[in-house]
Every structure is written in structure tokens, then in C-alpha cells.
Amino acid sequence: MTHKLAFIGFGVVGQGLAEILHNKRQSLQEREGFEAKVVAISDFKKGSLYHPDGLDLEAVLDAVQKTGSLDSYPKTEGLITGWDSLETIRQSNADTVVEVSYTDVKTGQPAIDHCRAAFQSGKNVVMTNKGPVALAYRELSALANEHHVSWGFEGTVMSGTPALRMPKLALAGNDITEIRGILNGTTNFMLMRMDEGESYESALKEAQKLGYAEADPTSDVEGLDARYKIVILAQHVMGMPLSVEEVECSGISNMTPALIEEARMEGKRWKLIASATKEGGRVKAKVAAEKVPLDDPLASISGALNAITYETDLLGPVTLSGAGAGKTETGFSLLIDLLAIAKAREAVRS
């Protein structure tokens, strides 16, 4: 069965998935029994394309990489242009929406509305935007269930590293009582450089130069990025209701060489830790810089890597580490979700 996809947004992450689908088309078909075609793309800057029989991904990628726009895509019979995101979701013949639009993390929009429209139209959604999942998890989960469609968002926490799927599948049957993680690669890189003798300002400039930190690094260095991610983990993995506002949050902007040295003298290392702990039927969550003992697996995580430890009742602590960002890595997170939807659909049919 061929899966028909509509991309809402076609920036770095969307192009990352498109390249994977194009480059690995044959191996995905042979090894996973997965075949997909992109029937629609709608991007508020690059334009929009829809063809019910599918778009030529090579031509799409060529157009975007050469001109930054979809306008130069060959005009073939049956091609429709000019649809906005909601028209694309509601009127295309896609069965799954790849939601990778530019979204305001504070409001979750327009991605929340895109999800609502897709679910109400009987379409699955895979996405990497963390705002909608953190802010509207219960509403959107219920809406997807009501319309018997799937909602995948693996890439919202640790990119393609399966921080959501692994505990749900491989740790099934455990009670996960605590989650602790390094969920922001920018701050982990900066703390590593400070541990090597750099100042905060120098470490930040280097992170920006390497593309780890934005021109405005507030979301990273003040812990806001990790705050949304721990909310997703608490709700999806632990099954505990938690709002963003309930998470105590501080970052690393007050980190000094003296504090770095203090931790070193104690045989510890500073890490920005996001944690969620079950306490008396509730969950308590926070994001803060912590002095982590050197024998803790999280202490050895260097560079821009992410890592997460799940405290379980049957297996004890289990730690997962891997990439937390990147074009291909995040594109892969969407592929994980698409493959899971395809396998679930196949299981229902058989």
C-alpha cells in the first residue's frame, strides 16, 4: 500500500525527510515494505504544490535548493498551486500530514490548528514541533482517538533518538518513577567548554558559530526548550498530567568559572538537567543546572549530545543517549513515526 503524504512546512526538517524518502526509497520498500509518495507541500514562504498522483521529489528538492521556492517546479497536467496549509490538509488526498511548519512554541500555533484539521479530516499526523504536544497533549490525543487516526511526535524530545518510543515499547510493564535528562545540546556543549576553561560568553559565541545556538539563545540557556520536552515526557511516557507552567525552570546563564571549579573539587560536573519525578500520585518536574557525580551516566555526555535516564521498578535505571538535533536526524524521527503508522495499519488489515 502506498502512503500519501502532505507536508505542511518545508524547511530544514521537511527537506531532511524528503531527502530520506527519495534516497532510501528502494531500501525502505524492500526492507520495510514501506512505500510513500508526497502528494502535497504547503509552505507559507516557499509556496504550495498539490498533485493527487504524487510530486517528483527530485524536482521539488532541486527547485527549493536552487531558488528557495517551489515556483520553478515543472507545471504538469493536474498540478494545483496556491493552496494554504488548511486547504492542503482538508482537500488533498493525503492520508498522513507531515506537520513541520514554523510554529510559535509559546502558543503551539499554527501547528495545533493543523493537527485539529487533519484529525477531523481523518488524517494521521507526524510532527516535530514540541509546543503543540506540550500544550495540547490531552486534547489532541483525544481528537486523534475519536477519529481513529495516529499521531506521531517522536522528534519533539530528542530528534531521531527514540526517547518516547523506546520506553513505551522496550520498557513496557515497568513503572517509570523518574525521568532525568540532558535534553538540550546547546547548553551541554557550553557546559563542556566551560569545564575545559572557557568563559560563559566565549562558550556561547562558539555555540552560535557552530550553529548550535540561535542569535537569541534564551530558549536554550534559560532552560525553556528543555522545559517543554520534560512536559512531553511526563505526559506521554509516565502518563501523568503536567503543564508547562508547573515546571520550575532555570538555566545556565549565571554559571561562572568559580562554580565550575567548585563542582570539579567535589568530583562532579555541571549539567542542565530536566527531571520529572512521581510523588504521591502527582509528578514534580523541574529544569535546573545540577552538579552530577562523575559516576552518573549523564556526567559523561559531552558535546551537543542528549541523554536520558529512566528509573524503572523492574530494570533499575536505563540510560539512552544520542543526537538531539540535526537535519537528517530529525527527518529520521518523522520516518520512525511513518513506519510505525504503516505497520499498525498493516496489522489491522491482516
Q: Class for domain 2-159+328-349, per CATH?
A: alpha beta
The reply, when asked if residue 108 is annotated as ligand binding, is no
The CATH number assigned to the domain with range 165-324 reads: 3.30.360.10
Grid cell digits, residue 246: 508547573
User: Is 252 strand, coil or helix?
Assistant: coil
Measured distance between the N- and C-terminal CA atoms of the chain, rounded to whole angstroms: 13
Q: Which residue carries 517546479 as its cell?
A: 73
Spatial CB neighbours of 115, under 8 Å, sequence gap ≥ 6: 99, 125, 127, 132, 136, 140, 143, 151
The reply, when asked if residue 9 is annotated as ligand binding, is yes
What pLDDT, on the 0 to 100 scale, is given for residue 280? 87
The reply, when asked if residue 13 is annotated as ligand binding, is yes
Q: Where are the domains of the chain?
A: 2-159+328-349, 165-324
Spatial CB neighbours of 347, under 8 Å, sequence gap ≥ 6: none
Contact in structure between 182 and 271 (CB atoms under 8 Å): yes
The reply, when asked if residue 271 is annotated as ligand binding, is no
The reply, when asked if residue 231 is annotated as ligand binding, is no
DSSP state of 216: S
Walk along the chain (350 residues) and give the pLDDT tens digit of each residue: 899 999 999 999 999 999 999 999 999 999 999 999 999 999 999 999 999 999 999 999 999 999 999 999 999 999 999 999 999 999 999 999 999 999 898 999 999 999 999 999 999 999 999 999 999 999 999 999 999 999 999 999 999 999 999 999 999 999 999 999 999 999 999 999 999 999 999 999 999 999 898 889 999 999 999 999 999 999 999 999 999 999 999 999 999 999 999 999 999 999 999 999 999 889 999 999 999 999 999 999 999 999 999 999 999 999 999 998 899 999 999 999 999 999 998 877 76
The reply, when asked if residue 10 is annotated as ligand binding, is yes
- Which residues are catalytic, by number? 229
